[in-house]
Amino acid sequence: MPVQEETRAVADSSRRKFLGVTGVVAGLALFDELARSPEDALAAYEAEIEALGSRTPQAVAGRQSADVLERMRAELERALQKPSSERRWVMVIDLRKCIGCHACTIACVAENKLPPGVVYRPVIEEESGTYPNVMRRFIPRPCMQCENPPCVPVCPVNATWKNEEGIVAMDYERCIGCRYCLTACPYSARTADFGFTYTEGTPVGAGVVGEKNADDYERAANYEYGNQYPRENLRSSPVGNARKCHFCQHRILEGVLPACVTTCIGRATLFGDANDPESLVAEMIAQPNVMRLKEELGTEPRVYYLI
């Protein structure tokens, strides 16, 4: 056998062995992963995050836990132990960290089952400067949950109010859909639900489910304000109503952070009880680089921006 052929045969044999061993190892690893319970997997993931977090400068300095989400979740649990009138929910958005991925917008749409044309948290994109000194920045705009909400007194039927935790809430069943609150909000933070569905007009045909079946999900209830609102027809609220961000009230009362907060990949959105001096948001809103939108109107927004 020529030397070259011998060498090739040895190489083939080594490659086969290598692939065989790798396959067995990978198979075992996969089996191990599949065999683990979800709880074990979560624990392993959290341990991994913890290990990573222990190496961040903040953790070394002992000022923050591994992930601000963990800290905010703990603070949320702490706040929920207090009477509701003693909480003051606040959102802080760090514009330096926002990368304009719109994940918060989409998370909010999914969480609240928002139909087409309704949005609670759009992200405004701004471009400033002239070439070559050009900058872009992204400004998420949830409801400001104003201390003095201009949208509340204009409602003719008491369908919207500021609750004792400072969230501006809606009673969908009472709202008559006059849209006065939409005109009164200086932040355009309220949108009207015109009754659209994503699957409207979906054709029926071979291999196509058609609108009737496709919109089952859209017709199912959402759970805003802890109530069920199935979307059955034009008269079933919130169709025909004004709608707005409520800081995912239904989640926070269960100890879960708002959807936009947990989804923010840059951890640019922070949430918590500003009445708790130990909370992250209380720390942040005391910073000198904090601002709020349209302060001159005296609405006292509870959404702060770090710039």
Partner 1 sequence: MAEATFPSQRRAAFRWRPYDFIWVAGSVLVLLGIWGIWQRASAGLAPTNLSSYVPWGLWVGFYDYLVWLEVGSLMLFTALIYLAGNKQLARIKPIVLFTGLVVLLMALFIVFLDLGHPERFWHVFVYPDFTSMITWMVWLHSTYLVILGAELLLTLWGNEHSERWLRVLGLLSLPAGLALILVSGSIFGVVAARPLWNSSLLPLMFFISALATGAGVLLLLTVVFWPDKSSAEYGQMVRFMARIAAWMLLAGVLAASIIAFTTLYQGSPARTDALLLILTGPYWWSFWILHILLGVLVPLFILFTMAHRPLWVGVGAALSIATFVTVTLNIVIPVLVTPEIEGLATAFVHPKLTLDYVPNVMEWSVIAFVFGFGGLLYGLGLRWLPVLPHSVEAHNE
Task: Determine, following the binding rule CB under 8 A, whether residue 195 of this chain makes contact with partner 1.
Answer: yes
Q: Closest approach of Cβ 263 to partner 1, in Å?
A: 16
241 binds partner 1 (CB under 8 A): yes
In whole angstroms, how close is the CB of 22 to partner 1 at the nearest point? 47
Q: Does 219 bind partner 1 (CB under 8 A)?
A: no
Alpha-carbon gap, residue 280 to 37, rounded angstroms: 33
Nearest distance from residue 180's CB to partner 1, in Å?
5
Q: Is 84 in the site for partner 1 (CB under 8 A)?
A: no
Distances (CA, A) of 42 to 37, 45, 251: 9, 5, 21
Residues between 113 and 142 that touch partner 1 (CB under 8 A): 116-119, 122-126, 139, 141
Binding mask 7-46 for partner 1 (x = CB under 8 A): ----------------------------------------
Least Å from the CB of residue 197 to partner 1: 10
Q: Distance between CA 174 and CA 285 in Å, rounded?
A: 35
Q: Whose Cβ is closer to partner 1: residue 63's or residue 174's?
A: 174
Instruction: Assess contact for 273 and 87: CB atoms under 8 A.
Output: yes
**DSSP code for 273:** E
* Alpha helices (H) along the chain: 3-35, 38-53, 57-60, 68-80, 103-111, 180-184, 210-214, 216-219, 249-252, 259-263, 280-285
Rounded to whole angstroms, how far apart are CA atoms 133 and 289? 22
Output the smallest distance, CB 23 to partner 1, in A. Answer: 47
Coil, helix or strand at residue 6: helix
The span of 15-23, 175-183, 251-259, 280-288 binding partner 1 (CB under 8 A) equals 175-183
CA distances from 296 to 47, 129, 144, 250 (A): 47, 25, 14, 31
Residues forming contacts to partner 1 in the complex (CB under 8 A) are 105, 116-119, 122-126, 139, 141, 150, 153-159, 174-180, 182-188, 190-196, 234-235, 237, 239-242, 293, 297
